[in-house]
């Protein structure tokens, strides 16, 4: 038996939705708690599979964790392990980021290489090169990174060839518990980087420049406890705004700083949508047909790759020919063939796709093969005529808290269902 979501499309979504805490900020902040023996608290933490996985990870390293579904309290009096196994890193790629805290605090770490996944190769060379510059000795054997820093890490000047989010998180964490001044150039500028820097500053580090390309870290020999409220999830927020757009409605997302969207809101305006920003809210209203656009994903403040799949869903019903170039992950178009099952006209050519807008989509069973692909297919199904079934729902559960409830509150018609094993027998499987 497995879960799927039944979606009956065709109703314009209208109303407001409050987004949860940002999953992609929660993961590094929780991992950074391994840098101190004192209690760290994080509120507004979304109740997602990825949150459970990171809590399990912290416990494996000696973290004493309490989580009530929103607030996490962690204390790690001593690091009890130095190894993150392949099964953990495979289940949660961000687990690889424990390398820095383990090295900085425990002076040794063994962490499995994340390997590739459905959306691309995803190497970690920038993480490793940065840590080597900080004095770590690193070797790779049988798919595992062995890292030691017997005399402790040392401050360094590190130039990242590409603004990798993960490498920036990793190196800020390492530098925070390394006495002296580390300078990181070519850093990722995503809001989640600022969130991590603020959290580490609360723990006693002195980090300047987060949100820009150059970050300077005055590290300490010890860090202390801290408390913070997690920022809102810009990808979840963008998904709900696009749900309003594709169904022809008007959706307000609350609990999000409009600056977190980078160029996303400009693209929505180019698509002919009316966009209104408040201090911590954004409203998007569709007044006519959606217009075709040409979009290229890029590091923040460019168009977020995590919103590429949900955007593609909306462009399937836009007037004219749209194009998307994916510059971050070479294989991130798995949703295109599933959108085609709903009647979308999409042609994939390497890192680019061309989308011929159609008048309407038609409901069908589809598989959501990663978090954002699943969200994209849910949006398309909400706009399609008739009934769809979204399968492989466990991917959606990694990134969207209370998905059906939030969508229903906007007027969507969708329900979680359990597939009957007899369906498979009759289908001859």
Instruction: Return residues touching ligand UD1 (CB under 6 A).
Output: 24, 27, 94, 120-127, 162, 164-167, 188, 192, 305-306, 328-329
Nearer to ligand UD1, 145 or 205 (CB): 145
What tokens were used for 95? 């687990």
CB of 143 to ligand UD1, least distance (A): 16
CB of 83 to ligand UD1, least distance (A): 21
Name the strands in the sheet holding 274-277, side by side, starting at the edge strand that comes first in the sequence.
Answer: 14-18, 250-254, 281-285, 274-277
CB of 266 to ligand UD1, least distance (A): 18
Task: Give me Rg for the CA atoms of the chain.
Answer: 22
CB burial class (10 A; 0-12, 13-18, 19+) of residue 119? buried
Nearer to ligand UD1, 36 or 164 (CB): 164
CB burial class (10 A; 0-12, 13-18, 19+) of residue 121? exposed
Nearer to ligand UD1, 233 or 306 (CB): 306
Q: Give the count of alpha carbons within 13 A of 288, CB side only.
A: 7
CB burial class (10 A; 0-12, 13-18, 19+) of residue 50? buried
What tokens were used for 142? 């049988």
CA nearest neighbour of 372 among 338, 408, 340, 396: 396
Nearer to ligand UD1, 249 or 262 (CB): 262
Residues 21 and 231 sit within 8 Å (Cβ to Cβ): yes
Nearer to ligand UD1, 306 or 404 (CB): 306
Nearer to ligand UD1, 189 or 220 (CB): 189
Q: How many helices (H) and strands (E) does the chain have?
A: 15, 24
Nearer to ligand UD1, 248 or 299 (CB): 299
CB of 372 to ligand UD1, least distance (A): 8
CB of 39 to ligand UD1, least distance (A): 24
- Name the residue number minimizing CB distance to ligand UD1: 166
What tokens were used for 384? 């399609």
CB of 388 to ligand UD1, least distance (A): 25
* Dihedral sign computed on CA atoms, order 122, 195, 160, 260: positive
Nearer to ligand UD1, 127 or 395 (CB): 127
Nearer to ligand UD1, 262 or 343 (CB): 262
- Beta strand spans in 149-194 (E): 157-159, 180-185
CB of 267 to ligand UD1, least distance (A): 16
Apex 78 CA angle, 77 and 80, nearest 5: 135
CB of 116 to ligand UD1, least distance (A): 9
CB of 200 to ligand UD1, least distance (A): 16
CA nearest neighbour of 210 among 222, 200, 220, 221: 200
Greatest distance between any 2 Cα atoms in the chain: 67
CB of 329 to ligand UD1, least distance (A): 5
Contacts of 131 (CB under 8 A, 6+ apart): 99, 100, 103, 138, 147, 153, 170, 171, 174
Nearer to ligand UD1, 326 or 367 (CB): 326
């Amino acid at each position: 038996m497995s879960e799927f979501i039944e979606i009956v499309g065709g109703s314009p979504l209208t109303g407001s939705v409050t987004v949860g805490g940002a999953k992609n900020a929660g993961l590094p902040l929780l991992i950074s708690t391994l840098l101190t023996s004192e209690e760290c608290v994080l509120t507004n933490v979304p109740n997602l599979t990825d949150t459970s996985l990171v809590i399990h990870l912290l416990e494996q390293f000696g973290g004493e964790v309490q989580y009530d579904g929103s607030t996490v309290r962690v204390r790690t009096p001593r690091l009890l392990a130095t190894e993150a196994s392949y099964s953990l890193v495979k289940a949660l790629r961000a687990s690889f980021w424990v390398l820095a805290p383990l090295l900085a605090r425990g002076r040794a770490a063994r962490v499995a290489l994340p390997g590739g996944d459905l959306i691309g190769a995803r190497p970690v060379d920038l993480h490793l090169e940065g840590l080597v510059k900080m004095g770590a000795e690193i070797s790779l054997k049988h798919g595992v990174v062995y890292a030691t820093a017997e005399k402790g890490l040392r401050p360094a000047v590190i130039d990242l060839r590409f603004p990798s989010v993960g490498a920036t998180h990793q190196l800020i964490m390492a530098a925070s518990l390394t006495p002296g001044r580390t300078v990181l150039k070519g850093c990722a500028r995503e809001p989640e980087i600022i969130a991590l820097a603020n959290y580490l500053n609360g723990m006693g580090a002195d980090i300047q420049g987060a949100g820009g390309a150059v970050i300077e870290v005055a590290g300490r020999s010890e860090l202390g406890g801290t408390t913070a409220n997690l920022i809102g999830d810009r990808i979840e927020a963008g998904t709900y705004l696009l749900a309003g757009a594709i169904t022809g409605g008007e959706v307000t997302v609350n609990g999000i700083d409009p600056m977190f969207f980078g160029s996303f809101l400009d693209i929505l305006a180019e698509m002919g949508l009316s966009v209104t920003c408040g201090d911590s809210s954004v409203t998007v209203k569709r007044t006519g047909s959606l217009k075709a656009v040409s979009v290229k994903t890029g590091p923040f403040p460019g168009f977020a790759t995590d919103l590429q799949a949900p955007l593609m869903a909306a462009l399937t019903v836009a007037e004219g020919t749209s194009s998307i170039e994916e510059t971050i992950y070479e294989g991130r178009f798995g949703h295109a063939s599933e959108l085609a099952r709903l009647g979308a006209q999409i042609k994939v050519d390497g890192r680019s796709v061309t989308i011929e807008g159609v008048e309407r989509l038609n409901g069908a069973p589809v598989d959501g093969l990663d978090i954002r692909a699943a969200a994209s297919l849910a949006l398309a199904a909400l706009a399609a005529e008739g009934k769809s079934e979204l399968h492989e729902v466990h991917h959606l559960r990694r990134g969207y808290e209370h998905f059906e409830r939030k969508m229903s509150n906007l007027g969507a018609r969708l329900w979680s269902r359990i597939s009957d094993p007899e369906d498979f027998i009759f289908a001859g499987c």
